[in-house]
Every structure is written in structure tokens, then in C-alpha cells.
Amino acid sequence: MSLLRAFSDEHSQVIRGEGVWLRAPDARDYEEWAALRTRSRDFLKPWEPTWPADDLGRPAFRRRLRRYGEERRLDHAHAFFLFLNGTQQLLGGITISNIRRSVSQTGTVGYWIGEPHAGRGYMTAAVRALIPHVFGPLRLRRLEAACIPTNAPSIRLLEKVGFIREGYAREYLCIDGVWQDHLLFALLRGDARG
């Protein structure tokens, strides 16, 4: 199978969860993505890196898609958009990034949900749906996550799907323009089976 065919097959892959489904982002998502991110800017700002001035423009989205494709091709990251079952309504996004192979077989999960859809369990369902993909086709043994200690909804989500808190990292990531401490969580393949 050619590399292009392999990318195309995985790019079109759909992962189904309870009330939600995931697939790789593509150009047809731009309008809804830009509208949801614009509407959710203030809601997401405390939990994300500072957005570039042109982040919501179509050229920036095309660059984002090229980066997603290259990262997927190199097996460095796998990005998905989250949709409501039975619709094309975009709810948010989830990415497995920082994939390390060899003796590590580890990746990091990150996610965002649009403000109108927060608190409804959609992201919990998305993470649950993605876990078998992470430990199955992606062949990882460990999935890590980090969140700001004041992000109670994210902490609840991670604990609800089985992540174990493993530590505290000082000034771990630059979020909203400030180097922020983070709680560190992990889920092992064996934890997911249990």
C-alpha cells in the first residue's frame, strides 16, 4: 500500500463513541471551526497557549491542516475533530501528540471543547472512544495528560476515564502567556483493560 493511500485511509477513519464521533480535520471544517473557536475564545483562553493574531484565518487553518498531515505521516501526532453523533456539528478537538516510540511507546492527549458544548460529557465520551485506538492501532503503552491545577473540569474528566495522577510539574507549559504549573496524569494500557 502506498504512503498516500495509507494516509488517506487513516485520514478518513471514523472513531465512534457514546453520542460522539471523531475524524481527522479537513478543509471542509474551516467555517464551523472558525465560528466555534471565535465564539469560545474567552472560554478557552485560560487553558490554552496564546493564539496568534491570524489563528482563525483560512490561511492559518490550511497551515494547521498541512502540519496535522505531516505529523500524522511521521507518526508524531494524530489530530481529530469531535462531532455530535448523527450530525456534522463540530464540538471540539482532541490530539494525541508528542508520540515517542522505541522504549517509550508514549503519547500525550490534549483536547478542547467549544463553550456551547462544555459540561455535557462530550469530551469524556471522546477520550473514552479514543483510548482503544491509542492502545490498539497506535500501539502505545502509555498515554499522558497535563492540566492546570485550577482546571477542575479537566481533572474530573481525566479521573473519570481512568487516568492516575502521577505528579506536579512546575512551570510546565506557557498557557495564556504565563508559564503555568501542571498536574501530570497517565493511563497505561493495562489500566485501560481494567
Tens of pLDDT, residue by residue over 133-178, are 999 999 999 999 999 999 999 999 999 999 999 999 999 999 999 9
Strand partners, 16: 21
Tens of pLDDT, residue by residue over 116-133, are 999 999 999 999 999 999
Q: Is the pLDDT score of 93 beyond 50? A: yes
Superfamily of domain 3-143: Gcn5-related N-acetyltransferase (GNAT) (3.40.630.30)
The sign one gets for the Cα dihedral 79, 10, 160, 144 is negative
Distance CA 108, CA 173 (A): 13
